[in-house]
Chain A
Amino acid sequence: MTEPGKPTIVVDNLHVEYKTFSSGKAAADRRSLLNKQRGVRVVHALKGVSFVAHEGESIGVIGHNGSGKSTLMRTIAGLQQPAKGAVYGAARPALLGVNAALIPDLTGDKNVVLGGLALGMTPSEIEEHREDIIDFSGVREFMDLPMKAYSSGMAARLRFSIAISRDHQILMVDEALAVGDKAFREKSEQRIRDMREQAGTVFLVSHSMRSILDTCTRVLWIDHGRLKMDGKPKDVVGAYKKSK
Chain B
Amino acid sequence: MTEIDYAAIAREAGLPRVGARPTLPAYLKEMWERRHFATKMARYRIEASLAQNRLGLAWVVLNPLLQAAVYGFVFGVIMPRDTREGINFIPFLVTGFFVFQFFGQSFSQGAKAITGNRSLVRSLGFPRMLLPVSAVIRQVYELVPMMVVLAVILVGFGEAPRWEWLYVPPILALMTLFNTGVALIAARLTVHLRDVTQIIPIVTRLLMYMTGIFYSLEQVLADNPPWMLTIAQLNPVHDYIQLVRAMVLDGQEVNTLIVVVAIVAAFAFFVAGIFFFWKAEERYGRD
Q: Write the residues of chain A forming the contact surface with B, with a CB cutoff of 8 angstroms.
A: 6-13, 18-19, 27, 30, 33, 50, 52, 74-81, 86-90, 92-95, 97-101, 103, 105-106, 110, 113-114, 117-120, 122-123, 146
7 residue pairs, one from A and one from B, having the closest CB atoms: A78-B19, A88-B10, A12-B6, A97-B123, A88-B15, A105-B48, A100-B119
Contact partner of B52 among A93, A105, A123, CB < 8 A? A105
> What is the bound-complex CA distance between A79 and B120, given in angstroms?
10
B55 within 8 A of partner (CB): no
B27 CB to nearest chain A CB (Å)? 13
At the interface, yes or no: B206 with Cβ under 8 Å from chain A? no
> 0/1 per residue, B8-22, Cβ < 8 Å to A?
011001111111000
Q: Is B286 part of the contact surface with A, judged by Cβ < 8 Å? A: yes
Give, as a whole number of angstroms, the nearest-CB distance from A26 to chain B: 9
Which B residues are in CB contact (< 8 Å) with A81? 19, 282-283, 286
Which residue of chain A has the shortest Cβ distance to B119 in the bound complex?
A100
Some 12 contacts from A to B, beta carbons below 8 A apart, are: A7-B13, A50-B6, A75-B19, A78-B19, A78-B125, A79-B121, A79-B125, A87-B18, A103-B45, A117-B41, A119-B124, A122-B36
By beta carbon, the residue of chain B nearest A13 is B6
- Contact in complex: B44, A106 (CB < 8 Å): yes
A123 to B6, CA, bound (A): 39
Report the interface size class on chain B. 35 or more
- Collect the chain B residues with CB atoms within 8 Å of residue A88's CB: 6-7, 10, 13, 15-18
B279 at the interface (CB under 8 A from A): no
A50→B4 contact, CB < 8 A: yes
Chain B residues in 8 Å Cβ range of A11: 6
Q: Is the interface of B mostly helix, strand, loop or mixed?
A: helix
Residue of A nearest to B282 (CB): A81
* Given A81-B282, A118-B37: A86 in contact with B122 (beta carbons within 8 A): no
Expressed in whole angstroms, the Cα–Cα distance for A187 and B108 within the complex equals 45
With contact pairs A76-B18, A89-B15 given, residues A117 and B125 touching in the complex (Cβ less than 8 Å): no
Rounded to whole Å, the gap between the CB of B56 and the closest CB of chain A is 12
| Known interface pairs A9-B15, A88-B7, A88-B10; 9 further A-B residue pairs with C-beta atoms within 8 A, sorted by A's residue number | A30-B198, A86-B7, A86-B18, A90-B15, A106-B44, A117-B40, A118-B41, A122-B36, A146-B51
Q: A11-B6, A88-B10, A95-B124 are in contact. Are A79 and B19 (CB under 8 A)?
A: yes
Is the CB of B34 closer than 8 A to any CB of chain A?
yes
- Residue from the list B7, B41, B119, B125 in contact with A77, Cβ < 8 A: B125
Distance in angstroms between the alpha carbons of A18 and B285 in the assembled complex: 11
Q: Which residue of A has the minimal Cβ distance to B7?
A: A12
Please, which residues of chain A bring their CB within 8 A of the CB of B16? 88-89
The residue among B4, B14, B125, B285 with the most chain A CB atoms within 10 A of its own CB is B125
Residues of A within 8 A of B34 (CB): 117, 120
A52 to B9 Cα, complex, angstroms: 9
Interface residues of B in 44-100 (CB under 8 A from A): 44-45, 47-49, 51-52
Contacts A19-B287, A79-B285 given; does A99 touch B47 at CB 8 Å = no
Are A123's CB and B36's CB within 8 A? yes
Q: Given the complex, which residues of B lie within 8 Å of A99, measured CB to CB?
A: 119, 123
| B270-287 with Cβ < 8 A to chain A | 282-283, 285-287
- Total A-B residue contacts, Cβ distance less than 8 Å: 133
- A7, A30, A80, A146: the one within 8 Å of B10 (CB): A7
Indicate if the CB atoms of A10 and B15 lie closer than 8 Å: yes
B194 within 8 A of A: yes
Of B15, B115, B124, B282, which is within 8 A of A118 by CB?
A: B124
- B126 interface residue, CB < 8 Å from A? yes
Give, as a whole number of angstroms, the nearest-CB distance from B188 to chain A: 16
A73 to chain B, nearest CB (A): 10
Query: How long is the Cα–Cα vector from A8 to B17 in the complex, in angstroms?
Result: 12
A101 vs B117: C-alpha distance when bound (angstroms): 9
B125 touches A92 (CB 8 A): yes
> Is B195 in the interface zone, CB < 8 Å from A?
yes
Contact with A along B119-140 (1 / 0, CB 8 A): 1111111100000000000000
Residues of B contacting A97 with CB < 8 Å? Answer: 123-124
Bound CA–CA A80/B284 (angstroms): 9
Bound form: Cα–Cα A6–B12 in Å = 10
Q: Which residues of B contact A33 (CB under 8 A)?
A: 195
Across-interface contacts of B283 in A (CB, < 8 A): 81
